[in-house]
């Protein structure tokens, strides 16, 4: 039987989530909620469901399995905590847009609440729910990468001084850490998906002169060096329209190991794998022909349906909570890295160790 879903918060991102439930046999969208009546009514009419203007009313009048939190707020996350906590208190499974919160302490409480209530808490870490990431993970699992040596990630926004316009939105303007809190969840989640936990972070942060001249306080250029628990080195460059991106497009990640290297370009579009030379083979730059896989997918929005499908599958199959893909714990991990970035910046580029994650206890009935 399809899981009954209610979406709370109906700005732009909810319009990407709602069709994913409607078009998936594992889910059934039954209600929408927004404190702005016009938004809720418009969404309800569009998707043929009931409108609510108060989350508690929706929880008490609908037999929901899942509440999808698509609210935004300051730094794209200040309105996630209250609806997620309320829904979990009612015993509902919850999927939250990223970031899990714009406050790492509240994010920790959200993860604690999910464990206390024994419900699934997921986050829309949609950037690695792609055919390219699946193939990259397959290369790793099959031993075709070997011991991972490094990870290079570049994710952000194209831009230039010619087209720059200061974002005057109240959720953005005046928040120096907006880009870090609102966006670094995505590249960090992908780096962690391939390479594991990060134990050390060092950050150097800046912004282009034209942004400074406009009085824009956003720290928009983030240069971040990391060390993974495995000992592998990592580097993340993320910027928000201060420059135009080149090779690899707006989103690229390269993972290099002792047996091979792969690079994903434009998130969902292309992955290239270079096998390492074997004995008797030349070790020159062009010695091995790369294996190039083009998915034929140009629409990044397909990542939403793929990610939501994974959440519906995991809840339907009642996977152990620690096996949930794109879990609240995963989302908390990358927030801890983000807070380490801010701490490193505030201390002149000092090396910072991210806060430890809560231990995974597991379900005693599952083992």
**127 phi and psi, to 5 degrees?**
-70, -20
C-beta of residue 96 within 8 angstroms of C-beta of residue 122: yes
> Encoding tokens for residue 163?
């087209």
Query: Which residues have a Cβ under 8 Å from the Cβ of 243 and sit 6 or more positions away?
Result: 159, 160, 208
Task: Single out the residue in 281, 296, 311 at which a domain terminates.
Answer: 296
Q: Could you tell me how far CA 171 lies from the centroid of its own chain? A: 19
Same domain as 27, residue 103 = yes
Q: What does the angle CA 188 – CA 193 – CA 199 come to, to the nearest 5 degrees?
A: 60
- In the chain, the number of structural domains is 2
Task: Single out the residue in 257, 276, 296 at which a domain terminates.
Answer: 296
Same domain as 290, residue 313 = no
Same domain as 286, residue 261 = yes
* Nearest Cα residue to 332 out of 188, 155, 176: 188
Same domain as 83, residue 215 = no
In a structure prediction context, what are the per-residue pLDDT tens digits for the chain, which is 367 residues long?
Answer: 899 999 999 988 999 999 999 999 999 999 999 999 999 999 999 999 999 999 999 999 999 999 999 999 999 999 999 999 999 999 999 999 999 999 999 999 999 999 999 999 999 999 999 999 999 999 999 999 999 999 999 999 999 999 999 999 999 999 999 999 999 999 999 999 999 999 999 999 999 999 999 999 999 999 999 999 999 999 999 999 999 988 888 999 999 999 999 999 999 999 999 999 888 766 655 557 899 999 999 999 999 999 999 999 999 999 999 999 999 999 999 999 999 999 999 999 999 999 998 887 776 666 5
**Dist CA 293 CA 135 (whole Å):** 9
Query: Which residues have a Cβ under 8 Å from the Cβ of 164 and sit 6 or more positions away?
Result: 208, 210, 211, 214, 241, 242
pTM of the model: 0.95
Q: Strand locations in 100-250, DSSP E? A: 121-123, 148-155, 198-206, 221-228, 233-239
Q: Which domain holds residue 93?
A: 3-124+303-324
**Dist CA 10 CA 27 (whole Å):** 18
52: domain CATH number is 3.40.50.720
Same domain as 40, residue 19 = yes
Same domain as 267, residue 149 = yes
Same domain as 79, residue 62 = yes
Query: Which residues have a Cβ under 8 Å from the Cβ of 277 and sit 6 or more positions away?
Result: 283, 287, 288
**Dist CA 324 CA 327 (whole Å):** 6
Same domain as 315, residue 277 = no
């Amino acid at each position: 039987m399809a899981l009954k879903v209610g979406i709370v918060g109906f700005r732009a991102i909810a319009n990407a989530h709602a069709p994913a439930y409607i078009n998936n046999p594992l889910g059934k969208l039954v209600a929408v909620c927004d404190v702005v009546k016009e938004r809720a009514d418009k969404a309800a009419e569009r998707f043929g469901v009931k409108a609510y203007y108060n989350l508690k009313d929706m929880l008490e009048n609908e037999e929901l399995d899942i509440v999808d939190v698509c609210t935004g707020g300051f730094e794209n996350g200040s309105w996630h905590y209250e609806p997620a906590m309320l829904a979990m208190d009612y015993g509902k499974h919850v999927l939250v847009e990223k970031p899990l919160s714009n406050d790492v302490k509240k994010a920790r409480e959200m993860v604690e609440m999910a464990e206390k209530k024994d419900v699934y808490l997921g986050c829309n870490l949609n950037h690695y729910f792609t055919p390219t990431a699946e193939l990259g993970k397959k290369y790793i699992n099959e031993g075709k990468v070997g011991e991972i040596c490094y990870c290079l990630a570049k994710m952000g926004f194209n831009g230039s001084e010619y087209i720059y316009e200061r974002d005057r939105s109240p959720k953005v303007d005046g928040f120096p850490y907006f880009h870090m809190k609102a966006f670094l969840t995505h590249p960090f989640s992908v780096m962690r998906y391939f390479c594991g936990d990060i134990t050390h972070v060092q950050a150097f942060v800046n912004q282009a002169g034209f942004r400074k001249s406009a009085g824009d306080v956003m720290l928009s250029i983030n240069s971040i060096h990391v060390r993974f628990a495995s000992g592998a080195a990592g580097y993340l460059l993320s910027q928000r329209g201060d420059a135009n991106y080149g090779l690899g497009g707006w989103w690229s990640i390269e993972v290099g190991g002792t047996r091979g290297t792969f690079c994903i370009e434009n998130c969902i579009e292309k992955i290239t794998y270079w096998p390492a030379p074997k004995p008797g083979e030349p070790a020159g730059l062009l010695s091995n022909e790369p294996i190039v896989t083009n998915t034929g997918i140009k629409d990044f929005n397909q990542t939403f349906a793929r990610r939501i499908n994974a959440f519906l599958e995991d809840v339907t199959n009642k996977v152990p909570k620690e096996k949930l893909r794109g879990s609240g714990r995963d989302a908390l991990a990358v927030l801890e890295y983000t807070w380490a970035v801010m701490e490193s910046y505030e201390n002149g580029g000092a090396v910072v160790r991210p806060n430890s994650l809560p231990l995974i206890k597991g379900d005693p009935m599952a083992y």
